Each structure stands twice: as C-alpha cells, then as structure tokens.
Amino acid sequence: MNYIVFDLEWNQCPYGKEKENPRLPFEIIEIGAVKLNENMQVTGEFHKLIHPMVYKRLHRKTREILDIDMKSLKEGAFFYQAVREFLQWCGEDYMFCTWGNMDLIELQRNMKYYGLQELLPGPVRFYDVQKLFSIAFEDGKSRRALEYGIDYLHLEKSEDFHHALTDAHYTAKILKRIDSSVVRSNFSIDCYQNPKTKEEEIRIVYDRYVKYISREFKSKEEALKDREIAASQCFLCGKNARKKIRWFSINAKNYYCMALCPRHGYLKGKIRMKKTDEGKIYVIKTIKLSDEAEAALIREKREILKKKRKNRKV
C-alpha cells in the first residue's frame, strides 16, 4: 500500500461571497502530492497548476498567501484533466494523507462540479496528519498549523510554505515521524459523500470509542427521533447502557449524553449534526469511554446552559 500525501491550493471569488458560485466556493488552482511506499520512502511526486474556469481573478487573500499569479495559472492544466492524471498516478492501492480534513472535501467538491465524483467513490478513508500529530505529540485535540509541526519536530525548513508540493513534502516528513501503530489505528473517514441508506451507514470501533455515521434525514428533529441515533449502547459489551444524562444540545450542531454501563462504567455520547450541500442532515455519533469526573463536568455544563436559556426567556 502506498501513502499519497497531497496538498491543494485554492482560490475564491474575488468579488466577495455574495457573488461566488455556491457550487464551487473554492476553486482548486494547484495540486501537489508525494507518494510514499510501505516503508515511508518517497517514490514519486506529482505537481500541477490548474487553469481556473470559474474565478478568473485571484482573491486578495489568495494573492497574499500564495506566491502564484494568474498568468502562470493560465498555462496550467484544466482541472478535469489534472484530477484524472492525479488519480491515475495514485494507483490502485493507496491511502490519502492530508494536513487537516479540508483538502479532501474541496477535492471532491471540485470533482462533483465537473461531474467526476464517480472517479473517487466515498466515504473516503484517509489519514489526517494534523490530527495524528496531535495524538502522537500533544493532547489529541489541538489542531496546529503545518509550520508548527515542522518546528516542533525540528525538521528542516528550506522552502517556503503554501506551495502545494512543498506542503505535501512537509506533511510527509511529519507523517514519517509518527509511530506507525498510531497512524494505523487512527484513520479518518471523509463523509463529503455521506451514507444515503441504512446499508451504507458506517460503524467503526476504535481503541476507546466507537463512531457511527448515519444515513440522511430531513431535519435534526427527525434524526434525533431515530432509535439508533438516540441509543447509547456500550460498544464493549453491546449492552444497553442507561442514560444518566439525556441528550442535550450545547449549540445548534452538537449534542451530548452520559450513560452508565454496569460493566464498563461511564460512556460519553456526542452527536454532531452535519449538513450536506443539498441541505439534508446526517449524524456523526461517537460513544467514548469516560469517567465520573467527566460525567460531573457534563452535568455542570448542562446546568449552566439550562440557566442561560431560562434567563434568555425572561
């Protein structure tokens, strides 16, 4: 299996958000990638500048960050050609690796725009190196800039950041420094192509938690009424763990609950409501091993929210 470490640069509407094409808010203008074999040795690289079709001028921010001009982009390949070449170059057996989860989303959104989504069927499993860095060297929750990771590991910084190929190389260097067992047991799933039917739903058991990705619903309310979404089963023994704190929302997107398994103790449930491009809702639910201290914290959180909401009503 090969690791395909890739990085994209994109442009956005130069005339402001109101004038953007809602089907393509971010137009990819550069693809850079490095191929690593199973022993993490670099065996190839891929680089393409993309001829923009939607936004013919660079947004101020894009110009500030990227050392790129329209003239050289216009000499680039068309996206639909470049992406085909890219996927061909990737080969048959590979895992994508990116710094953060944005690149894979925008890659698929751009492919969808050109009707090429079939070339990359989803949901796509990948390694989020930004997340792996945090698990390996920090608290697992922090999300750092690529340059921070390079500095942290005292890796050589010989080239400027924000070039797709350079950033892909930097990301690969960091990936190489992360213990392979950490990498393997912490893959991510990109759900830009989310499950549509019950059969396509995803359930993955990690070390200390289980992740469930649901099919689509019309609304949040409808999703929460679903028995499986509301359930707080213990993922270790399969028994129904009794809820000590029922699902409550902390904001428009996130819900928590606390349950108690007689054998395995406290379990913390979290639901994230996700919206598709078409306005449908799907749910990412995690049930994690927890403890009494966290249960107390969650209870406190709920009480504070209750008070706040009550005060607002008065």
* Backbone phi, psi, residue 31, to 5°: -120, 130
Q: Based on CB atoms, which residue is closest to Zn ion, 47 or 264?
A: 264
Q: What is the footprint of Zn ion within residues 127-156 (CB under 5 A)?
A: none
Q: Based on CB atoms, which residue is closest to Zn ion, 52 or 269?
A: 269
Q: Based on CB atoms, which residue is closest to Zn ion, 220 or 264?
A: 264
Is residue 259 part of the contact set for Zn ion (CB under 5 A)?
no
Q: Based on CB atoms, which residue is closest to Zn ion, 145 or 237?
A: 237
- The CB-of-236 to Zn ion minimum distance in angstroms stands at 5
Biggest CA–CA distance in the chain, Å, is 66
Is residue 236 part of the contact set for Zn ion (CB under 5 A)?
yes
Work out the number of other CB atoms within 10 angstroms of the CB of residue 276: 14
Q: Tell me how many residues contact Zn ion (CB under 5 A).
A: 6
* Choice from 68, 183, 258, 261 touching Zn ion (CB under 5 A): 261
Residue nearest to Zn ion (CB): 234
* Choice from 47, 84, 264, 301 touching Zn ion (CB under 5 A): 264
Q: What is the footprint of Zn ion within residues 215-234 (CB under 5 A)?
A: 234
**E strand or H helix that includes residue 106:** helix 102-113
Tokens of 162: 């924000």
Residue 23: name the closest of 294, 232, 277 by CA: 277
* Choice from 198, 263, 310, 312 touching Zn ion (CB under 5 A): 263
Q: Based on CB atoms, which residue is closest to Zn ion, 14 or 265?
A: 265
For 154: left if phi > 0, alpha if psi spans -120 to 50, otherwise beta; the answer is left
Q: Where are the beta strands (DSSP E) in the chain?
A: 2-12, 26-36, 42-49, 94-98, 124-128, 188-190, 202-205, 209-213, 242-249, 254-261, 265-275, 281-289
Cβ atoms of residues 247 and 271 within 8 Å: yes
- The CB-of-218 to Zn ion minimum distance in angstroms stands at 33
Is residue 237 part of the contact set for Zn ion (CB under 5 A)?
yes
Q: Based on CB atoms, which residue is closest to Zn ion, 53 or 205?
A: 205
For 253: left if phi > 0, alpha if psi spans -120 to 50, otherwise beta; the answer is alpha
Interface positions with Zn ion (CB under 5 A)? 234, 236-237, 261, 263-264
